[in-house]
Structures are given as structure tokens and as C-alpha cells.
Amino acid sequence: MKAEKTILIEHLLEKVNASPFMFVVDYTGLKVDKFEELRKRLRAAGAEMHVYKNTLVKKAAERAGYPVEIGDVLTGQSAVVTGEKDVCAAAKVMKTFATEFQKPQVKAGILDGKYLDASGIQVLADLPSREVLLATLLGVLQAPASKLVRLLNEPAASLARVLKAKGDQEQAA
């Protein structure tokens, strides 16, 4: 039995080390079909949810060097959400699913080795998507360049307008 636990801890440790985040979720009262629906939605967002015994998750978290506070929330029926992609997308899926079905409840999480409480994960869920943030950043980076181009182009444009006006004035006279 000890060998099986060691294998499970190693498997969980691989998932935790490969993921920049980990959420601990209380799935008490969630029916099997809804649980599978949540897993499907998380998979589409690049994350996955697994159920392990709380003691195994505590041991894996200790070995991964996670803060001790994560062990405090590992009570009751807990599932672990990890992923290799966007943490905000996984947090959004958890938030929207909990809004729809009033379950599951996110207890806490880890992001880049730092402890996050449930409100911290809520803040992540409220952030705009990665694509929107990248587009905003691109707009901010492009604004000075376009202003510079307009500024450099303005003296030549002004000279052209003055010459055209002078030419129109001479033609009229």
C-alpha cells in the first residue's frame, strides 16, 4: 500500500511541478455529471481537475516547496486543479461554473509558488483574457511610435499646405 501512495504522490508532484498554478476546490455535493462537465470545461481552458486524498496532496505540496497555508485548506472533499496554460482562463471557468451551479467552491490556490486565498483567485477570474491584455499592450506600445511619425511628418505637410495655398493665391490673381 505504501508503494501505491508513493506512486500517487510522485504523479501529483509531476503535475504540480509542471503547472504554474494549483487550485484547491471543495466539490462537496457536486453530482458526477456536473463534475464531468466541469472537467470538460477546464480541459478546454488548458487545465485539469483530479481528486486525491488530502494527505497525499499535503505531502506533494510539501515536497514541491509550497507554502504551509495550503495544507490548512485541505479538509473535506477536495479536488486539485492544475494546468500548463493561462491561469486566468482556469479561474474564469471555475467562477462561471460556480455561478451556474453554486458549486464547487474554490478554497485557495498557489500561483508561481505564492499562496492565494479564494478572493485572490476571484481577482484572477475577473482579469481580461490574455488576448485582450496583449492587444491593450500592443496599443500602448504603438501609440508613441505613431505619434512620433505624425510629429516628424507635420513640418513637411505644413510646408506642402503653405506652398499649395501660395500657388492657389497666385493662380487667382
Q: What is the helix (H) or strand (E) element at residue 24, kind and residue range?
A: strand 21-26
Q: What is the helix (H) or strand (E) element at residue 12, kind and residue range?
A: helix 2-18
Answer whether 104's CB lies under 8 Å from 98's CB. yes
Q: How confident is the model at residue 109 (pLDDT cuts 50, 70, 90)?
A: confident
Provide the mean pLDDT of the chain: 81
For 16, the grid coordinates are 504540480
Total length of the chain: 173
Three-state DSSP class for 77?
coil
Higher-confidence position of 156 and 11: 11
Give the model confidence (pLDDT) of 124-172 as tens digits: 787 777 777 778 877 777 777 677 667 677 777 777 777 788 788 878 7
For residue 14, which of 53, 64, 58 has the smallest C-alpha distance? 64
Give the model confidence (pLDDT) of 59-77 as tens digits: 888 888 887 777 777 888 8
Answer whether 81's CB lies under 8 Å from 97's CB. no
Predicted TM-score (pTM) of the model is 0.69
Q: How confident is the model at residue 55 (pLDDT cuts 50, 70, 90)?
A: confident
For 161, the grid coordinates are 499646405
Give the model confidence (pLDDT) of 113-133 as tens digits: 788 888 788 887 877 777 777
Q: How confident is the model at residue 1 (pLDDT cuts 50, 70, 90)?
A: low
